[in-house]
Chains A and B, each alone.
Chain A
């Protein structure tokens, strides 16, 4: 049977992996959301510029 100190070590290790998993989740989703926002904004700017130079523009 594991001693109380071994149990505490195991608990600490488990907790570290849990923290790592949630950190990875937020970093990956956050980075991708940022990328998606930037791409959306850049596409909007590209569209605005194209619309300004378009011969049939109404804006």
Chain B
């Protein structure tokens, strides 16, 4: 039987999940339909509505990892560790998506799928750090040690986020300047904003799902340990 702490609010989360999915569909369809083709890029500009929000969502997820990793190092609370791990996994998915979408945008605009440009390289490094973070967690069995080590990697990885963000200003890059409502044409602001919110909702829902799974697994392991100790 699942304790009330796990089942409580699950209906509300299910509603939020359906809302997030519906909002994502609405955001993408409306953004694609409303925005006019770009003067230089034509229809290719519409990739911005998935690529840029995916990048922002990645940054946000790794900021969550940073906050909870610092809390783990400070307080050693398991809840913070599980939240950091959940955000890291979802963040890595969005990071991989950002890279894939960037390649799909880069090929027709720059003529290459990939170049060792500062923005692309630092984003790839960020992705590899968090893949390493997840691998590290898979290799360490002891929960306290796993929490502390992965928190240290989580903090170091998150430090890379401002480097990725500022890379287009600090170095000469092929990548354009940061896309934000203040740097894009007003015609494209709606699509960017609505998709940013849609990705944010999806991020929250996915982190919740992963956190719940991790918490239930830990609770089951604790019960198994109690049974093993009781049987001795």
What residues of chain A have their CB less than 8 Å away from a CB belonging to chain B? 10-11, 13-15, 17-18, 20-22, 24-25, 28-29, 32-33, 36-37, 39-40, 42-44, 46-51, 53-59
Q: List 15 A-B contacts (CB under 8 A).
A: A17-B104, A18-B46, A20-B104, A21-B104, A22-B50, A25-B54, A25-B101, A28-B96, A33-B209, A44-B216, A47-B220, A47-B223, A48-B2, A49-B220, A55-B227
Q: Are the CB atoms of A37 and B209 closer together than 8 Å?
A: yes
Number of A-B contacts (CB under 8 A): 113
What residues of chain B have their CB less than 8 Å away from a CB belonging to chain A? 1-2, 6, 24, 28, 32, 41-44, 46-47, 50-51, 54, 90, 93, 96-97, 100-101, 104-105, 107-108, 202, 206, 209-210, 212-217, 219-221, 223-224, 226-227, 230
Residue among A17, A22, A51 making CB contact with B44, cutoff 8 Å? A17
**Interface of A, helix, strand, loop or mixed by DSSP:** helix
Q: Are the CB atoms of B41 and A14 closer together than 8 Å?
A: yes
Q: Are the CB atoms of A40 and B97 closer together than 8 Å?
A: no
